[in-house]
């Protein structure tokens, strides 16, 4: 019996650890270009594959509600910025054609890092409504730089409005090719200097979207009540499982445990990222163990 319990505990730990990463298969095609070597073409295809894998998982976390325009812009951004979200990959196959290279990969995405970044970048906050802000830039931006700035504005879900707060100011730095950016809100100001406009932009905006009040607004007021356990051990075990479902739920907190002669029940407060996915996982996990649950959205009361 002890051996069985030990094996079960190890299995649960492995499942929880695995849930922090998501392995999905992607297939991309990178067109051939004059002057681009075969190794360079493969590297570009790999970068495209990483971007697609991260975008696919982000789409699940955002419940498929990301607009087509923002999805396209996010993929463009990820093409050069996806690696922090990648935990590993395996090349399944690649084929060389005269027109280019086809690459199929299994990619493991760090969901916890991605979920946190989606919040910091404003995706959750602006999924339903854009964030009003004043955006100021110098008059000597090239057409390419101006397009890049407008892409960042659309990607983040910002609705530029004169006199609105927060205020984002883009300036040229002292050195050529360097951007000096400032974000000010509610008496505070933050500064970023970088040669990559996107890097400077996303260094600053998390300062706004990660404010405690903004995080609380994202968290919402959902609660989950589960009953039918024989002991408190089952409650604690499910608490660990629930924290592993981070593509469906986040900020889960065990707030109440009710011990009765007939069994144990418990309540969690949580933020639902993907309600359909959470309900599917709850229905697959709880009833077969003789447990019942009730999921409510307290913010609707």
Q: pLDDT by residue (tens digit) across 47-65? A: 999 999 999 999 888 877 8
**Helix, coil or strand: residue 274:** coil
**Helix, coil or strand: residue 84:** helix
Determine, yes or no, domain membership for 145: yes
Instruction: Tell me what the mean pLDDT of segment 168-183 comes to.
Output: 94
Instruction: Read off the CATH number of the domain in which 113 is found.
Output: 3.30.1660
CA distance 285 to 267: 16
Q: What is the pLDDT of residues 15-52, one digit of tens each?
A: 333 344 556 899 999 998 888 888 899 999 999 999 99
Determine, yes or no, domain membership for 76: yes
Both 162 and 110 in one domain: the answer is: no
Q: Is the pTM of this model over 0.85?
A: no
CA distance 293 to 275: 14
Q: What is the pLDDT of residues 211-269, one digit of tens each?
A: 866 665 555 557 899 999 888 888 889 989 998 888 788 778 787 877 777 778 888 88
Instruction: Read off the CATH number of the domain in which 161 is found.
Output: 3.30.160
CA distance 172 to 204: 16
Both 60 and 141 in one domain: the answer is: no
Q: What is the pLDDT of residues 77-114, one digit of tens each?
A: 999 899 999 999 999 998 988 888 999 999 999 988 99
Angle between helices 143-156 and 68-81 (to 10 degrees): 110
Instruction: Among 120, 147, 175, identify where a domain stops.
Output: 120
Residue of 166 and 4 predicted with greater confidence: 166
> Phi/psi at 195 (nearest 5 deg)?
-80, -10
Both 231 and 207 in one domain: the answer is: no
At 4 the pLDDT is: 34
User: Which residues neighbour 248 within 8 Å (Cβ) at sequence distance 6 or greater?
Assistant: 272, 273, 274, 275, 277, 278, 281
Instruction: Among 96, 120, 144, identify where a domain stops.
Output: 120
Q: Does 166 sit behind a cis peptide bond, omega within 30 degrees of 0 on the bond before it?
A: yes
| DSSP code for 241 | H
* Residue at token pair 């890097």: 199
Domain that holds residue 106: 19-120
Instruction: Read off the CATH number of the domain in which 276 is found.
Output: 3.30.70.260
User: What DSSP letter does each residue of 113-168 carry, written as one string?
Assistant: HHHHHHHHTTTTTTSSSPEEEEEE--TT--HHHHHHHHHHHHHHTEEE-TT-SSEE
**Helix, coil or strand: residue 31:** strand
Determine, yes or no, domain membership for 154: yes
Would you say 245 and 15 are in contact if contact means Cβ atoms under 8 Å apart? no
Q: What is the pLDDT of residues 116-165, one digit of tens each?
A: 899 899 998 888 889 999 999 999 999 999 999 999 999 999 999 999 99
CA distance 222 to 296: 6
Determine, yes or no, domain membership for 1: no
Helix (H) / strand (E) containing 292: strand 292-297
Residues 85-106, buried b or exposed e (16+ Cβ, 10 A)? bbeebeeeebeeeeebbebbbe
> Phi/psi at 24 (nearest 5 deg)?
-135, 155
CA distance 53 to 59: 10
Both 197 and 228 in one domain: the answer is: no
Determine, yes or no, domain membership for 249: yes
- Chain centroid to CA 152: 17
User: Which residues neighbour 115 within 8 Å (Cβ) at sequence distance 6 or greater?
Assistant: 61, 246, 247, 250, 273
Both 99 and 173 in one domain: the answer is: no
Determine, yes or no, domain membership for 10: no
Question: What is the number of structural domains in the chain?
Answer: 3
């Amino acid at each position: 019996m002890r051996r069985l319990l030990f094996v079960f505990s190890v299995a649960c730990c492995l499942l929880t650890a695995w849930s922090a990463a998501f392995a999905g298969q992607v297939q991309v095609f990178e067109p051939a270009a004059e002057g681009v070597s075969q190794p360079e073409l493969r590297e570009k295809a790999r970068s495209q594959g990483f971007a697609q894998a991260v975008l696919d998982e982000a789409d699940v976390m955002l419940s498929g509600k990301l607009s087509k325009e923002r999805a396209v812009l996010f993929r463009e951004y990820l093409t050069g910025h996806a690696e922090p979200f990648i935990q590993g990959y395996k090349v399944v196959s690649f084929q060389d054609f005269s027109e280019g290279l086809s690459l199929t990969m299994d990619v493991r995405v760090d969901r916890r890092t991605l979920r946190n970044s989606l919040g910091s970048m404003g995706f959750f906050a602006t999924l339903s409504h854009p964030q009003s802000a004043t955006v100021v830039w110098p008059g000597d931006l090239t057409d390419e730089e101006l397009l890049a700035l407008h892409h960042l504005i659309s990607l983040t879900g910002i609705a530029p409005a004169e006199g609105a707060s927060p205020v984002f100011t883009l300036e040229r730095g002292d050195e050529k090719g360097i951007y000096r950016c400032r974000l000010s809100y509610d008496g505070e100001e933050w500064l970023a200097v970088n040669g990559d406009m996107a890097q400077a932009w996303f260094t600053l905006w998390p300062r706004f979207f990660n404010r405690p009040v903004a995080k609380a607004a994202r968290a919402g007021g959902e609660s989950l009540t589960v009953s039918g356990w024989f002991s408190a051990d089952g409650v604690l075990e499910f608490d660990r499982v629930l924290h592993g479902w981070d593509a469906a739920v986040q900020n889960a907190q065990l707030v109440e445990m009710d011990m009765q002669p007939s069994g144990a029940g418990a309540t969690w407060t949580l933020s639902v990222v993907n309600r359909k996915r959470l309900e599917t996982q709850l229905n697959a996990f709880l009833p077969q163990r003789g447990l019942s649950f009730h999921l409510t959205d307290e913010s609707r009361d």
